[in-house]
Structure 1
């Protein structure tokens, strides 16, 4: 075990009190846990000011970020599709002119088709974007949950070591 007491861990995290444990340093602390004894880790976790609130805050911040990303994405998609529709409307108006040559009509039709291809490509990109962001949010929430489970699991393990049921005689 690399860390033998709380003071060593605080020095490694660059804090003088557990009240100064930021979200970033909480992640570093979790990464350091394998290098400390279970007793020391549990003693520290018990001192965290409202670990449950911290975990809720992390998940809440992730939700807000995801929602704002979705809102911005939705607005961007609306603008893009509206612009494509406006281009098609203009092209259709041009197509209605009687004095166009076959080549001019063909060019306008190709431009209308191109806006359709652009929208299809943009839709595919958007679905990929949403998928990647959902995976990130799920991974972050999973990490917060895993961190909570690790703390709770460690506490349960420590409590079970102290339990008189462990010393059953044959």
Structure 2
């Protein structure tokens, strides 16, 4: 959808005033920017005196959430790996018993193999998860860059308009 005026953008963001623009809605606003008329986007950005600080705070919050997610994931991964190692150690101890039948030995070996597959599956899931988290971080960084570019671009356009008006007056 193409946004041609502030009212359309505010309606899409479900806000009545730019003062109601939360961090979540700021991110939505940034994602909508490619679909906005450039002049309208610049007029909106100019209305935020603390836009740079707001964008920086948003990026910092995203970074903290990203680090927390990675830390929790690493800890969870270590717990699962450790638990599977302990299960294998117990199974190996059982396998060392001399009075086991062939069927019992086969069962224990199959359980050891199963824990290996579970460990491998968990590692594969973790890599997919990390890839998804990395992609989200890239998107977040892209949004931050877009916000920064929009802010700087808006200031440059505004400054160039001021300069062109000055040169036309002379």
Q: TM-score range by the shorter chain?
A: 0.7 to 0.9
Matched residues, number = 163
Q: Call closer, same or farther: CA 1:98–1:133 in 2, change over 3 Å.
A: same
Structure 2, unmatched stretches of 5+, are none
49-58 or 153-162, larger mean C-alpha shift: 153-162
| CA deviation map 1:43-99 (0-9, x unaligned) | 543331411111111111111111111121112111111111111111111111111
| Structure 1: 4+ residue segments shifted above 6 A | none
1:146 counterpart = 2:151: no
Equivalences for 1:104-143 in 2 at 5 Å?
104-143=104-143
* Match of residue 85 from structure 2: 85
Of structures 1 and 2, the one scoring higher in RCO (CA 8 A, sep 6+) is: 2
29-38 or 111-120, larger mean C-alpha shift: 29-38
Quick check: 1:33–1:41 contact (8 Å CA) kept in 2? no
103-112 or 126-135, larger mean C-alpha shift: 103-112
Cα RMSD, aligned residues only:
3.0
SS in 2 for 1:99: coil
SS in 1 for 2:152: helix
Q: Structure 2 CA distance, aligned partners of 1:37 and 1:109? A: 66
Q: Call closer, same or farther: CA 1:46–1:118 in 2, change over 3 Å.
A: same
Quick check: 1:19–1:49 contact (8 Å CA) kept in 2? no
Q: Call closer, same or farther: CA 1:114–1:23 in 2, change over 3 Å.
A: same
Alignment TM-score, normalising by the size of structure 1: 0.79
Q: Structure 2 CA distance, aligned partners of 1:117 and 1:159? A: 62
Q: Call closer, same or farther: CA 1:33–1:109 in 2, change over 3 Å.
A: closer
Quick check: 2:46–2:154 contact (8 Å CA) kept in 1? no
Q: Call closer, same or farther: CA 1:141–1:162 in 2, change over 3 Å.
A: same
Q: Structure 2 CA distance, aligned partners of 1:37 and 1:98? A: 80
Q: Structure 2 CA distance, aligned partners of 1:64 and 1:94? A: 45
* Match of residue 25 from structure 1: 25
Alignment TM-score, normalising by the size of structure 2: 0.79
Q: Call closer, same or farther: CA 1:35–1:76 in 2, change over 3 Å.
A: closer
| CA deviation map 1:132-165 (0-9, x unaligned) | 1011011112112112202211321232233349
Q: Call closer, same or farther: CA 1:72–1:87 in 2, change over 3 Å.
A: same
